[in-house]
Amino acid sequence: MGTSDGKVKGSTKIVDAGPNTQRWNVAIVSEGYRESEMGQFAADAQQFANTLLAAAPFDRLRAAINIHRVDVTSTDSGAKDPKCGTSGGTGAKPKTYFDASFCTQGIRRLLVGNSGRVMNVVKKLVPQVHIALLEVNSPIHGGSGGSVATFSKAPGAVEIALHELGHTAFSLADEYEYSRDCRQGGHEKHSQSEPSQPNITTNKNRATTKWARLIKATTAVPTTVNANCKVCDPQPTPVPAGTVGLFEGADYFHCRVYRPEFDCRMRNIGMPFCAVCQQAIVKKLTPFLPT
Ligand SMILES: [Zn+2]
């Protein structure tokens, strides 16, 4: 188990925008790659870097971002995949350096490694690191936010990585309105208290809501209302894509909590970040731009 199941090989700066002391430093770490698979990890890390830097608003913040590849080998490929209720699980138990596993908290897609161990390795090699991602060499769909954003190699996994990075690096909330599925009980109405995350709100007052400045006077507020709080709102968007307003349903609840746009990367994988999420990212990374 753990660090006896592999080796820390070193780090390589694969995107260099300037001195580590002045830039925002991202580290991408390998998990479940055998020695013979490290060439594949180099290609996977480069693909992640390219996708990140092409996605808005990172495309206009390139001058602020360094990306470091951290090579760690494992004895075996993949991640633990325990039997997971009714949603499967192969029972595989590969020996890997960070002990990543699917089926965390009984949810198969929730893929988590030993975050403390990841940060220990990264801080030794890249002391100025701001955020670490763990890339898990498994074709099974999964990922997680938390202190280390984690993703696998399922189709579209780099898109999952950008969503998880939204949680880990920018404190963005999930903008989808369900946990297990759209009919699950206990997810009808959000508490009335205002969430801390920048991209969800319970305040439907046009003048005082969190992203009031981005809502046009001609946009209805709230912009959508869920007619049946027992389920997710099935209605299509009543406004053009990219319209900022108050759309009911977010943060795992069907009602009484609002998201800024009809869709966003924090709601659906593969969508761009909405204007409010982009604004939060820009605000955080602007201090790292060259003067
Ligand atoms: Zn958003």
Q: How far is CA 104 from CA 5, 110, 137, in A?
A: 21, 5, 17
What is the distance in A from the centroid of ligand 1 to the CA of 6? 38
Within a domain: residue 88?
yes
Q: What is the pLDDT of residue 27?
A: 98
Ligand 1 centroid from CA 147, angstroms: 20
Asked whether residue 187 falls in the same domain as residue 211, the answer is: yes
Q: How far does residue 205's CA lie from ligand 1's centre (Å)?
A: 19
Clarify whether residues 211 and 107 are in a common domain: no
- Specify if 289 maps to a domain: no
Residue 278 in any domain: the answer is no
| Interatomic CA distance for residues 27 and 48, integer angstroms | 11
Q: In terms of Cα–Cα distance, which of 84, 5, 26 is closest to 281?
A: 26
- What is the 80 CA–ligand 1 centroid distance (Å)? 32
Q: Are residues 61 and 99 in the same domain?
A: yes
We report the CATH number of the domain holding residue 131 as 3.40.390.10
Q: Please tell me the predicted confidence (pLDDT) of residue 87.
A: 76
- Do 220 and 165 share a structural domain? no
Give the range of the structural domain holding residue 186, as residue numbers without chain letter.
174-268
**95, 114 contact by CB (below 8 A):** no
In the reported structure, the alpha carbon of residue 206 is separated from the centroid of ligand 1 by a whole-number distance in angstroms of 18
* Residue 265 token pair: 């990367």
> For the chain, what is the domain count?
2
Q: What is the pLDDT of residue 85?
A: 82
Task: Give this prediction's pTM.
Answer: 0.92
Q: Which residues pair with 74 in a beta bridge?
A: 6
In a domain, 280, yes or no: no
Contact 257, 251 (CB under 8 A): yes
Distance from Cα 276 to the centre of ligand 1, integer Å: 6
Whether residue 279 lies inside any domain: the answer is no
Which pLDDT does position 1 carry in this prediction? 66
- Distances, alpha carbon 272 to alpha carbons 262, 268, 275, in Å: 12, 9, 9
Question: pLDDT (tens digit, 0 to 9) for every residue of the chain, 291 residues total?
Answer: 678 999 999 999 999 999 999 999 999 999 999 999 999 999 999 999 999 999 999 999 999 999 999 999 999 999 999 999 887 899 999 999 999 999 999 889 999 999 999 999 999 999 999 999 999 999 999 999 889 999 999 988 899 899 999 999 999 999 999 987 899 999 999 998 999 999 999 999 999 999 999 999 999 999 999 999 999 999 999 999 999 999 999 999 999 999 999 999 999 998 999 999 999 999 999 999 998
Compute the distance from residue 259 Cα to the ligand 1 centre, in Å: 7
Picking from 123, 146, 170, the residue at the C-terminal end of a domain is 170
Q: Tell me, in angstroms, the distance from the centre of ligand 1 to residue 166's CA.
A: 9
Same domain, 139 and 196: no
